[in-house]
Amino acid sequence: MRKNLITVIILAICIINLVFNILLVFVFMPSATKTNKLIGDIAAVLDLEIASQSSGDSSGFDVADLAPFQLEQGNPINLASDGSDKVHALQYGITINLDKTAKDYSKVQANLEASTSLIYDMTRDVIGNYTYAQVIDVEVQRQIKEEILKNLKETFNTECIYSISFYNWVAQ
């Protein structure tokens, strides 16, 4: 009789264990699938970032392929009025970085050398629209660079112009 009682107790404990296991599966599976989905999404974003960084490297562009075309520091440019009755001016130098591997590199370089006054005029038109408070802001300086770069690419009808940079940027 004792053996039968022990067998019944073992059977009851096994059934209780089975019920708890089933309960665990239904309680923890939804949160485990949500966690798995979150980890998968994070991994996908990281893969995209890694792919975009490696795609930038796979373009084959090398800094050694840049040829700087430097324009000397030009005349001061009057900045837009900020309402303070003070006249502010900016003096700067500009370097235009050309891609030496571009097909029209030599043509663009020759055009740039012959058109320095045009480049100064273009930059004067762009920078003259900004106030003193704006030109000392780094974000606005980036915006000015992008605008000048776009204007240069459109004027010279080329993608050979890779970037521009300023030096001796002095605003008063």
d(CA 36, CA 26): 16
Question: Two tokens at 18?
Answer: 């089975």
User: Residue 119 in contact with residue 152, Cβ under 8 Å?
Assistant: yes
| Reported pTM | 0.61
Per-chain mean pLDDT for the chain: 83
Instruction: Judge contact between 66 and 99, C-beta under 8 A.
Output: yes
Q: What is the pLDDT of residue 127?
A: 87
- Among 103, 158, 81, 148, CA closest to 121: 148
CA angle 97, 100, 103 (to 5 degrees): 120
pLDDT at 131: 87
More confident residue, 53 or 84: 84
Q: Which residue in the block uniquely carries the two structure tokens 């320095």? A: 116
157 SS3 class: coil
CB 66 within 8 A of CB 98: yes
Tens of pLDDT, residues 118-148: 888 888 888 888 888 888 888 888 998 899 8
**CATH number attached to the domain at 63-171:** 3.30.479.30
Q: How far apart are CA 80 and CA 78, in angstroms?
A: 7
Q: Closest by alpha carbon to 69, among 106, 123, 101?
A: 106
Non-local CB neighbours of 4 within 8 Å, separated by 6+ positions: none
